[in-house]
Amino acid sequence: IRERCLYLDHATLAPLPQPAVAAVGEALRLYQQEGFWQSRELHQLDQKVRMLVSQITGCQPSDVSLFPDAATALAALFAGLDLPPGTEFFLTAEDPDEARSLVILLQRLGRPATLLEPARWAQLAHILEARAPERAVVYLPWVDAAGWVGDFPAVVKEFKARGCFVVLDGSQAVPCRPESFPELEVEALLLPSHTWLLGPQGACALITTPELRERWHPVFSPWRKPLAEGASDAACFEGQGVSPLVLAGWTASLELILAEGLVAVRNRIFAHQRTMTSFLLQLGWNVASPGASQPVAGIVLAQHPFFPAEEVQRRLQARHVRVGTLGSWVRFSPHFYTTLAELDALQKILSSL
C-alpha cells in the first residue's frame, strides 16, 4: 500500500494487505490444481473465519453466521425473526440505498418500518425518545460515520426495558473499540469484511446471541450441514456459502490483526485519531468528530477553511494521499499500520494545500 499512496480511507473500503493478496492467490492455485470441492483446506475456511472473528469480538464461533454482504445478512435475520404482531422496525444506516432496501423488504413482509435519518449520537437519543419505540427491532451503528461512539450498554438497557431487540452495525467499530460482543449486551452485531477488518469485499459476519437464535427461523436452505445440529449453531442460518477466495483473503487479514495484537492495534488507531484532530484544529479546520473527552474510534471528519471536500480530495490524491468524503466533509480514517512519519508528512501537505 505504501508503495502507491498514504491510504486514509479505511472507513469506506480497505486496501488488501499483502498477506491477503497472497492468500487469495494460493486459494486460486488450489482451485486450479485440486478443485475447490476436493480441497479440504478451502472447504474449512468458513470455520476458520468464524474462529478468528470470535477471537476479535469475544463471542463463540458458534455465534457467527457468514453471508456475502450486509444486506443479505440483515434480510435473512429480519425475515426470519419470530416477533409479536405489530412489532416495528426502526432503522438508521449511513448508506441510504441499503436503508431503503431494508425498509422495502420489511414493508413487503408486512412489518412496519421507519427509516431514521443518519444522526450523530447526541441527536439520535432525542429522535428515539420522540418516537418512543415499544416492542421494536432497532438497527443502529455502534460508531457512526463521523466517528461518534454509541453509549452502550446504557442505550441497550433503555431499549430492553421497552422490549426492544438491538442490532448493531459494527462497520466502523471493530477492531477499533475495546468492548467485546457480550459486553455490548445487544442481540446481534454486523461485521462487513472490507473496512477496518482489512478483508476483500464479499463477506459479512453476523454475530447473534443464543436467545435471539431461538426466535430466528432459517430463511435459506443451509449450503452445508453445520457442525452442530439446530439453531445452537449460527451456521444453520446461512444460505449459499461465501466464496472461498474471499474467505481466504479475510482469514489472512484477520490473522494479521491478531498477530499485531488487538490492544496495540487499538492504541495506534486512537493515537492517530488524536494526532490528526490536533493538527487539523491547528490548521484552522472545522472538526466534527469526538474530542479528547469523548470515546473515539478511528475517524476524523473535518472541513477545510474554504476548499470544498471534493477539491481537498482531488488535491490530496494528486499528492498520493487517499481520503474519503461525506457530504461537505473530508473523512480521514488511518489504520494501525499508518506511521507517525506519514502523519507528519500529511500535516505538511495540508499546511500548503
pLDDT, one tens digit per residue, over 276-308 is 999 999 999 999 998 878 888 999 999 999 999
Residue 199, C-beta contacts closer than 8 angstroms, at least 6 positions apart: 14, 16, 20, 193, 246, 249, 250, 253, 254
Q: What is the mean pLDDT of residues 18-35?
A: 87
Q: What is the mean pLDDT of residues 245-263?
A: 97
Q: What is the mean pLDDT of residues 33-39?
A: 64
227 pLDDT tier (thresholds 50, 70, 90): very low
Which pLDDT belongs to residue 4? 81
Which pLDDT belongs to residue 90? 83
| Lowest-pLDDT range of 127-136, 228-237, 264-273, 316-325 | 127-136
Which pLDDT belongs to residue 54? 98
| Lowest-pLDDT range of 65-69, 135-139, 185-189, 319-323 | 135-139
135 pLDDT tier (thresholds 50, 70, 90): confident
Do the beta carbons of residue 36 and residue 245 sit within 8 Å? no
Q: Residue 46 pLDDT > 60, yes or no? A: yes
| Lowest-pLDDT range of 92-96, 161-165, 268-272, 345-349 | 92-96
The angle at the Cα of 258, spanning 270 to 6, to the nearest 5 degrees, equals: 50
Do the beta carbons of residue 190 and residue 168 sit within 8 Å? yes
Q: Residue 36 pLDDT > 70, yes or no? A: no
Please list the alpha-helical segments (H only) found in the chain.
18-33, 40-43, 45-57, 70-80, 96-108, 121-131, 154-161, 181-184, 210-213, 244-260, 262-282, 309-318, 340-351
Tell me the chain's radius of gyration from C-alpha atoms.
21
Q: What is the mean pLDDT of residues 173-183?
A: 95
The angle at the Cα of 47, spanning 41 to 51, to the nearest 5 degrees, equals: 120
Which pLDDT belongs to residue 128? 61
Q: Which three cell numbers stand for residue 95?
A: 448508506
**Residue 208's beta-bridge partner residues?**
188
pTM (2 d.p.): 0.92
The angle at the Cα of 152, spanning 148 to 157, to the nearest 5 degrees, equals: 140
Alpha carbon 339 to its chain's center: 23
Residues 205 and 181: their CA atoms lie apart, in Å, by 13
Which pLDDT belongs to residue 348? 96
Residues 21 and 2: their CA atoms lie apart, in Å, by 15
Q: Which three cell numbers stand for residue 313?
A: 480530495
Q: Residue 323 pLDDT > 60, yes or no? A: yes
Q: What is the mean pLDDT of residues 26-36?
A: 79
Residues 66 and 68: their CA atoms lie apart, in Å, by 7
Q: What is the dihedral of CA 30, 35, 40, 43, to 10 degrees?
A: 100
Higher per-residue confidence, 255 vs 124? 255
Nearest to 294 by CA among 120, 164, 129, 136: 120
Average pLDDT over the chain reads: 88
Place of cell 494460493: 26
